[in-house]
Structure 1
Amino acid sequence: MPAHPPRHWKEVVADKLSADNAKIPEQWRLSADVIAAAKNRRQIAGDFIEDLLDSETLHITSADGPDLLAAMANGSLTAVQVVTAYSKRAAYAHQLSNLLLEIGFDNALVRAKELDDYFKTNNKLIGPLHGLPVTLKDQFHIKGLGTSMGFVGWIDTFEGKKGTGNEKIFESQVVQELWSLGAIPIGKAPETNNNILGYTWNPYNQRLSSGGSSGGEGVMQALRGSAFGLGTDVGGSVSMPASFQGLFSLKPSSGRISFRGVANTGPGQQVMPTTVGIMGRSVAVLKLVFKSLLSTEPWLRDPNTLPTPWRMEKEYDAEREPGYKPAFGFMPHDGVVTPHPPISRALGIVKKALENSGYQLFDWVPPSNNESAEIHGPIARGDGCPDAYEAIQLSGEPIVPEIANMFPGGKLRQPMPLPEYEQVVVHMHDYRNRYNDYWMASAQRTGTGRPVEAVISPVTPYAAILPGKFKYSQYTSSLNVLDLPSVVIPVTFANKAVDKVGPDYTPLTEKDRLNMDLYDAEAHDGAPAAVQLFGRRWEEERLLSMAQLIAEAVERYTRTYGEEL
C-alpha cells in the first residue's frame, strides 16, 4: 500500500489542542463571552480571574504553600480540596492565556486521594510538600503526559523519536523527587512562543511579553494556577519571567537540583549547564521547595548533582550571629545599560528600605557585563543549535521570531571551531576568578570583616517588554556565566504618571541610548517591576535568608512611606 503523505503541522496541532481541551471538565469551561472579554482587557491577573472563582477555590488558591501545608496537617483542608481548587484555577488560566501544553488533572486527583487516605491512616503528612499542586515547564518528563517543549515534531514522541518505549512513561529525576515529597504535578506550561499554543502574553499588561523562555510557567504562577512552579534557566529564563510577572524565583548554581532526565536543547553543552529554577509567591515557598528537594539526596541518583544537603549553618540567623548586620552590594546599573524608569524606582525603593532598616549598601563595580556577553553566546550557541533546527524540521513548522536570529535565512549555521570554543571557556574561567577576587576584596570596605553577603541589581532593564524589543540580557546571563545563584524579588508596578525618563538622563553608552529609546511609559504602565539579589556560588541557603531580609524591609518601608520616590 502507498505510504500516507506526512500530515501538515497545523493538523497535528489541531488534534493536540482538541485532545488537551477534552481533559478540562465541562463544569470548568469558560464561556466564549468571558474569553472574549479577557482578550480585550489590559489586565487579567488579580480581580478578573478571581471574580470567576467560587469562594472555596479563591480561598484555597490565595493561600501560600506553607499555609496550605499547615491546613492539611491540622485536617482543615484535604489534598483533594487543594488539588481540585488549583486544577480548576489552572484550567481557567489556560483558557484565558493558552498556558498548558499538557493537562494532568485526572492523575493529580487520584494521587490527592491517595495522600488523603495516607493522612487518615497515619495522622501525618506524607512529606514536606504533601498535597501541593505544581506545574512545570514542558521540559520535565512526567508519567502519563507527553513532552513537546513546544516543538510540533515532538508531539506523541519521546524527544522527537517514535517507538522508543519511553513515550509518556519516562520521568525526570526531579519529578520523581516531587512525587516522593508529596507534591502533585497538575500540568506543564509552554515556552513563551511556540507554534502549538502561540504567544504567551503578560497577564498584568497583555500588550507585553511574559518573558522567556519559562514564560508560560511565569504566567501560570501569576494567575495562581499552582502552588509553585519549576522552569529552566541558562540565560535568565526563570528570572526574567518571574520579574515580568511579579513573582519570587530562585535560580540556583548548577549542580544543586538534579537535571537528570530533563529534555533540553544543546544537551551536550555542560560548560555552562542549564539549571532548574523555582517560581512562587514568597521566599518561604522557594526555601520550602529547595530544601525539600535536597532532603531526597539527589546526588545518590544523579552523579552530576553535588553531594550537598541543606546547610543550616549557612543560613543567616540574627540570634546565632548577634551584632552582625549583613552588608549588600548595590548595582543600579552595570555601566553599559541603564534600567528603564520603573526598574530604577524599584531599585531606589529597595535601597531606601534597607538603609531605613540599618543595612549598609556598597557600590558594586565588578568586571564588566560586556565581558560576560563575549562568553555567554558562544558557549550557549556555539554549536549552531543543530538539535533545535532538526526538531523544527521534523514537522516543517516555521521558526518562531524569538530564535530566528539563530538560523539566518532559515538555515543552520556552522559550529564554532573547537579551539575557538576552548578559548572562550578559558576566558570564562578567568572572568570568574577576577569576579570572585573583586567580591572577596569587598571585605576591606564593609567594616564587618566579611565581604558583602549578596548584591542587588536589575533583573533586566525592563518592567516587561513589548515583543521584539528585548535588547539586553546581561544582567541575568552574566550570572549563568559566573554560575551564581539569584533570587528575584518583586517590588512595585510601573506607573506612567511617575516613571518618566528624567531631563538629566545621560546615556552611558550607545547601547544604553538605543535601549532607553524603547521605553514607553504608557505601554509599560501596570507591569511588575522587580530586582534581583545574587550571591556567591553554591550559597543558596545564605541567599534565601538575605532575600527574606530584603522582602521584609521593603514591606515595612512601603507600608510606612509608600512606593513613590
Structure 2
Amino acid sequence: MAAKSMTLILTVAIFVSVFLALANGISDMWKLPEVLSRRQAGWQQVASGKRQANLAKIPPDWILEPQLLEDGRSRLSIAGDYIEDLLDDKSRYITDMDVPELVARMKDGTLTAVEVVTAFCKRAAYAHQLSNLLLEIRFDEAIERARELDDYFREHKRLVGPLHGIPLTLKDQFHIKGLDTSMGFIGWLGTFEGEMGTGKERNIESELVREFNALGAVPIGKAPETNNNILGYAFNPYNRNLSTGGSSGGEGAMLALRGSAFGVGTDIGGSVSMPASFQGIFSIKPSAGRISFKDTANTGEGQQVMPTVVGIMGHSVDALRMIFKSLLSLEPWLHDPYTLPIPWRPEKEYNARSELGSKPAFGFLTNDGVLTPHPPISRAMEIVKEALANKGHQLIKWDWPHHRETLEIHSLIARGDGCPDVYEAVKLSGEPFVPEITNLFPNGKPRAPLPLPEYEQIVSRMKTYRQRYLDYWTSTAKRTGDRPVEALISPVTPYAGVLPGKFYPSTYSSSVNVLDYASVVIPVTFADKEIDVVSPNFRALSDEDRANMEGYDPEKYHGAPAAVQLVGRRLDEERLLSLAQLVVEALNNYKSKSNEER
C-alpha cells in the first residue's frame, strides 16, 4: 500500500508540475525532475540536461561539425586566428571592433544593431562549443531586442542610449528575466537562489541589467564560475594548460575569444582582475558603491564591510571609460541605496595642461615580499617601467613592508562566517565540492563562524591598516618632491595564468579589496619560453615562495598573457582611467620603437 500511495503521489505531482509548467510557458522540460526534486533526478542528470538545453538554443547553422570541435578542443590555443578562421568575413569584421567604434558605426548607419548582435552571438556560440563558457544563452531574445533598436533608430534618427546595440555577457550572478541564475550551483537551477515557489524564479532583473537595457546594451548570455559541476573547468583560451582565473573566469575567457563586446564580473579578492590579467584583456574593479549590486545573487550577502563589487572587462581603456561613464549617467543611487551619489567627475581626470604640465609620478611595486612574480610578470613590469621612463615619468619604489597582513584580514572577513550558504547551496543537489572550495570545508563541513567580538577586531584591524597605508601613500610626496604618487603599478598576481591546483593566495590582488581601492588591469605581453626562465640567482623568500616558483614551467606557460595593474586610491576611478590611458599610450610608443629598431 505504501508503494502504491507513493506512486499516486508522484503521479499527481508530475501532473501538477506539467500543468504549471505549461501554464507559465516553460518549455525547458529537462527542468521537470529538478523542480520535483533535485535529489531524485541526481546532479549529473540535471547538469547534463542543462548542457543539452543550452545547445538547443544555438541555431543549427551555428553548430560546429564534430571534427572541428575535436580539432579545437585538442589545440593549445583557440584565441585569435583560430576562432577567427571559423567565422565568415562580416562576423569577423564586426567582432574585431571595440565598443566606441561599434557605437559610431551604428550611429552613422554603417551597421545595424541586428548585424552587430548577430555577429557577436555567432562568435559566442563558437566560443561556448569550444570551451563551455555559457551557463545561460539568450541569442534569440538578443536579436529580437536588436530589431527593436533598429526600428527605434529608423523612426527617431538617434540611438536609444550611449551603448545602443552593444552585446555583452555577464557573470551568472546577475538576474535576467527568463533565465536561470545558478552561480554554477546545480541545486539553484529552476529556483530563485535555491528556493522554489517564491514567484521570483526567472522573473527578477538585477538593477545593473535594467541599467544596461536603458542604455541600449544587449545581454546575449551569462558566463560561469571558473570551475563548476554544470560545465566543468574553464581553461585559458590562449594556453589551455592554464586556468582562466577566478572567479569570473568564464567571463574573462568569453572576452578573450571576443564573444561579446564587453563583460561584467564580480570581485571580492581579484575575481575580475585576475581573469582579465590571465586572458590579456582590460578591466576595472572600482571601489564599493560606484556600480550597483542591487538584486544580484551572491554568497555571504550580509558581509558588507568588504563587499563584493561589480567589475567591467573590455578590450580597451576607452571602452571601460565609456561603459563606466554611461552607467553613472543613469544616477543609479536613485534606485539603489548602496550606490553612492557620485556622478562621473571629469574634473578628476588627469589632464597635463591643468596639472601645469607636470608628468604624474607612479609607485612601482616589483615584489610584495610574499610571492615573487614569475618571469613573464617580472618582464611585463620591466616593459612598463621602461615605457614610462622613456616618457619622463617618475617611478617611486614601493617599500610598504606589510602586504602579508592583507591575506589574513581578507580571509577572516570574507570567510569569517564559515561559508554556510555555499555549503547549503552545494548540498541542495548532492553535487561534490569542486576542488577550489574544498579548503573551505574541512572534514566536509563548514568551519565554526568567528565570534562577533573577534570579527569586530578584524574589522578594526582593517580600518587601521587602511589608515597606515594611506599615510604611506601620502608620504611619497617627500620622494617625488611635489605631490604623492598618482597611482601604483604592480603585478595583478605573481603568475601569467596558473596551472590548475597550483594557485597560492596573492596580496597583489587581496590588498586592493582590503583597501577598497580601484584597479585597472592593462595587458602588456605574452610569456615566452625562450626568454622567461627562472634566474639562477633566484633566492626564495620562504618555502611558500619556493613552491610558487617551482610551479612555473616555461614550456607550459608559453603564450600566456602577462599584465600589470594600475591601482588608484578609493573612489578615484575617473583619475585612474585617465592615467591608465597614459600608460597604454606609453606602452604603444615603446613597442612601436622596439619594432622599428628590429
- TM-score w.r.t. length of structure 2: 0.93
Aligned to 1:266: 300
Alignment partner of 1:271: what SS?
coil
- CA shift, 1:232, in A, is 0.1
Distance 1:503 1:95 in 2: 43
Distance 1:518 1:17 in 2: 33
AA in 2 matched with 1:486: S
1:560 aligns to 2:560 (yes or no): no
Aligned to 2:204: 170
User: Contact 2:371/2:506 (CA < 8 Å) preserved in 1?
Assistant: no
AA in 1 matched with 2:99: G
Q: Which of these residues, 164, 181, 184, is aligned with residue 147 of structure 1?
A: 181
Residue deviations 1:374-432, cap 9 Å, x none? 20000000100000100001000000000000011211221111111111001000000
User: Contact 1:349/1:563 (CA < 8 Å) preserved in 2?
Assistant: no
1:507 aligns to 2:540 (yes or no): yes
Alignment map for 1:98-113 (pairs within 5 Å): 98-113=132-147
Aligned to 1:243: 277
Distance 1:253 1:50 in 2: 36
Aligned to 2:524: 491
1:187 aligns to 2:221 (yes or no): yes
Aligned to 1:426: 460
Aligned to 1:457: 490
Aligned to 1:36: 70
AA in 1 matched with 2:298: N
- CA shift, 1:337, in A, is 1.5
Aligned to 2:583: 550
Aligned to 2:264: 230
Q: Which of these residues, 49, 54, 58, is aligned with residue 92 of structure 2?
A: 58
User: Contact 1:367/1:434 (CA < 8 Å) preserved in 2?
Assistant: no
Aligned to 1:356: 390
1:468 aligns to 2:496 (yes or no): no
Structure 2: 5+ residue stretches without partners: 11-36
AA in 2 matched with 1:128: P
Distance 1:123 1:509 in 2: 64
Distance 2:127 2:341 in 1: 38
Q: Which of these residues, 402, 420, 427, is aligned with residue 436 of structure 2?
A: 402
User: Contact 2:264/2:312 (CA < 8 Å) preserved in 1?
Assistant: yes
- CA shift, 1:168, in A, is 1.2
Q: How many residues align?
A: 564
Alignment partner of 1:488: what SS?
strand
Aligned to 1:197: 231
- CA shift, 1:564, in A, is 12
Aligned to 1:312: 346
Distance 1:499 1:294 in 2: 42
1:126 aligns to 2:163 (yes or no): no
1:97 aligns to 2:131 (yes or no): yes
Alignment partner of 1:136: what SS?
strand
AA in 2 matched with 1:556: N
**Which segment drifts farther, 27-36 or 509-518?**
509-518
Change (3 A) 1:564 1:200: farther
Distance 1:422 1:563 in 2: 58
User: Contact 2:368/2:401 (CA < 8 Å) preserved in 1?
Assistant: no
- CA shift, 1:509, in A, is 3.0
Residue deviations 1:236-272, cap 9 Å, x none? 0000000000010000000000000010010011110
- CA shift, 1:510, in A, is 3.0
Q: Which of these residues, 212, 218, 231, is aligned with residue 252 of structure 2?
A: 218
Alignment partner of 1:206: what SS?
coil
Distance 2:311 2:527 in 1: 25
Residue deviations 1:259-313, cap 9 Å, x none? 0001001001111000000001100111011111111101111111110000000
Distance 1:70 1:318 in 2: 27
Identity in percent: 65
1:282 aligns to 2:316 (yes or no): yes
Distance 1:234 1:409 in 2: 26
- CA shift, 1:508, in A, is 2.6
Aligned to 1:539: 572
Distance 1:204 1:481 in 2: 30
Aligned to 2:337: 303
Distance 1:508 1:290 in 2: 39
Alignment partner of 2:259: what SS?
coil
Alignment partner of 1:481: what SS?
helix
- CA shift, 1:563, in A, is 12
Distance 2:193 2:545 in 1: 40
1:369 aligns to 2:406 (yes or no): no
Q: Which of these residues, 555, 558, 583, is aligned with residue 522 of structure 1?
A: 555
Distance 1:144 1:440 in 2: 49
Q: Which of these residues, 374, 377, 399, is aligned with residue 343 of structure 1?
A: 377
- TM-score w.r.t. length of structure 1: 0.98
User: Contact 1:367/1:431 (CA < 8 Å) preserved in 2?
Assistant: no
User: Contact 2:206/2:294 (CA < 8 Å) preserved in 1?
Assistant: yes
Distance 1:93 1:219 in 2: 9
User: Contact 2:368/2:507 (CA < 8 Å) preserved in 1?
Assistant: no
Residue deviations 1:30-64, cap 9 Å, x none? 01111100111100001110000000000000000
Distance 2:494 2:525 in 1: 15
AA in 1 matched with 2:150: D
Alignment partner of 1:492: what SS?
strand
AA in 2 matched with 1:516: M
Change (3 A) 1:563 1:435: farther
Distance 1:126 1:396 in 2: 46
